[in-house]
Amino acid sequence: MTYDMNDVQPQIATDIIPDGTFARITMIFKPGTIDGNSPVDAKLLKASNSPGSDVRQIDAEFTIVEGLYVRRKFWQFFTVSGGKLDEQGVSIGWKISKSTFRAMIDSALGLNPEDMSDAAKARRVLNGLSELSGITFVGKVKIEPSDNPRYPDRNRLERVVLPQEPEWQKVMNGEHVPAAPSSKPRAAPKPETPPAWGQGNAAAPAAAPAAKPAWGNTLAATVAPQPASTSAAPSAAPAAKPGPAWLAG
């Protein structure tokens, strides 16, 4: 038996997308294990990995669909319920997610966010959150610095770009929009101060350096550090289901 490798797509680059990149982005939802509130949202949600957390969230995968970084991917969770509550007892995380989803619809359909006509309002009504899977909108990508040196920085959706913004029309026209970084550059680590006993006496003769063991020389010559991966390998995602009619514009 032979395997023909000519009919597959080239591998996708895993380099991080530059901070402040504007692009058309498609979002799909990866399957979960918990049902949502709507019948069409069966097995849509996932539980938080934090011990004792009641957060239920959507696992979203984003793919840039055109331009310099076409087919690049990044991932992000959206809270649907649980977590910190506001004064009215509503999940703060859900309020943020709902605002982002509303902006995605406006960006995808070219709706003015201030348009509250009956026709515009009807296009923002969903039978379930799963209908958002497959939506394509204009967004701005950011780099989220890692707070753990063992893990690399990662991309996140900074915000959705709306039709009244100049970048929206340029991206929709296929024009290249220069990146507008928002993240502050990470400060260089401060050099460690040697302990007092390590500074020694300036007037004293320097001691001869200790001989290195033979295996230390061999290890340094043969083992090179491996660069960290710029993004975690995603689990296999199912093909995006057709979205609702309003996604057709």
Query: Where in the chain are the domains?
Result: 12-176
**To the nearest 10°, the Cα dihedral for 116, 117, 120, 123?**
100
Do 115 and 156 meet the contact criterion of CB atoms below 8 Å apart?
Answer: no
Q: Give pLDDT, residue 54.
A: 96
CA atoms within 13 A on the CB side of 55: 18
Q: Indicate the helix (H) or strand (E) that contains 236.
A: none
Cα 131 from chain centroid (whole Å): 20
Q: Give pLDDT, residue 50.
A: 93
Do 54 and 83 meet the contact criterion of CB atoms below 8 Å apart?
Answer: yes
Tens of pLDDT, residues 62-80:
999 999 999 999 999 999 9
Answering whether pTM is above 0.85, one says no
Q: Indicate the helix (H) or strand (E) that contains 169.
A: helix 166-172
Burial class (CB in 10 A: 0-12, 13-18, 19+), 11: exposed
Scanning the structure block, which residue is given the tokens 């949600």? Answer: 45
Q: How far apart are CA 180 and CA 201, in angstroms?
A: 52
Can you list the positions of beta strands (E) in the chain? 21-30, 46-47, 56-64, 73-81, 135-144, 154-160
Tens of pLDDT, residues 118-139:
999 999 999 999 999 999 999 9
Residue-by-residue pLDDT tens, the chain, 249 positions: 788 888 776 665 568 999 999 999 999 999 999 999 999 999 999 999 999 999 999 999 999 999 999 999 999 999 999 999 999 999 999 999 999 999 999 999 999 999 999 999 999 999 999 999 999 999 999 999 989 888 899 999 999 999 999 999 999 999 999 999 986 655 555 555 555 555 555 444 444 444 444 334 433 333 344 444 444 444 444 444 455 654 665
